[in-house]
Chain A
């Protein structure tokens, strides 16, 4: 008898693969942070900041104009940035959806919020609803989403007259994984980041992350992308409901700059071969 993997099982497998990758990326970043607080380790290979892809963007202009990178960054930042840009050239913001440890932390916090506020409804006790995550009002949403581009537009020129990377003291990745909460500002950033992630899905990704803003244009040109079979799409809105980036009308917005290429829409689509992954 011929055995075959059911579509549901294959989709489940993709979801667990994404979680596995995200968790590996999260623990790897935490290990890098831990390595740099061990005695004597900080002198080897630079600081925690040298593993940041956005550090490469921050230090690019100072390096090109003066031949020196900003303090706490070094040439390794450019290699990490090149890796992230490689992914972006092929698959848009896939780094955000699959590999970013900050994105993973937000997913974990949102899930935690959902579990904490879960309420059983109905007599059978099977249906559940939760208060969290909250939705931002529609009228504010487009403006808030533009904030990350503003952060990017401020940070890049600011780096040309600073000694340290401008984002260093307010970076959630550093607050989460460097294990060096040296400044009160960084503690505030950590608390704000965790609370906002608990309340709103991917708050930082949607509204604040300058790396996401820098990678967003690649969604428009990336050759590895989802396409839709309009004939089989019923417009049920299931993909919209599950989208962690809260993109509306996904079938018409598959090239949205906001998409983190997580493929959750493809996973949740009830009709087979409606959302198709294509290269070229």
Chain B
């Protein structure tokens, strides 16, 4: 499928934002202040 080059920036930017948001939703984000930041398991792992 042919894509117009002018849509290319929007496509890659949207992909970047969506995948980063996916990571954050899965729980790959820093905790609240005072919480140990580098030992907390992500939410997706805590589910199991």
Contact = CB atoms under 8 A, between A and B. Distances in A.
A144 interface: no
Nearest to A70: B38
Interface in B4-43: 4-6, 8-9, 11-13, 15-20, 22-24, 26-30, 33, 37-42
Contact of A263 (B8, B23, B26): B8
Given A46-B37, A79-B29, A87-B15, 16 more contacts: A21-B9, A67-B39, A67-B41, A70-B38, A74-B37, A75-B37, A77-B28, A79-B23, A80-B20, A82-B22, A83-B17, A98-B9, A224-B8, A277-B3, A278-B1, A279-B1
Contacts of B41: 67
A81 B42 CA distance: 15
Contacts of B4: 277
Interface of B: 1-6, 8-9, 11-13, 15-20, 22-24, 26-30, 33, 37-42
A72 to B, nearest CB: 9
A84 to B, nearest CB: 7
B37 A224 contact: no
A77 B38 CA distance: 10
B39 A266 contact: no
A90 B16 CA distance: 10
Interface stretch (A11-19, A31-39, A131-139, A212-220): A11-19
A220 to B, nearest CB: 18
Contacts of B11: 90-91, 224
Nearest to B37: A74
Contact of A68 (B12, B17, B22, B38): B38
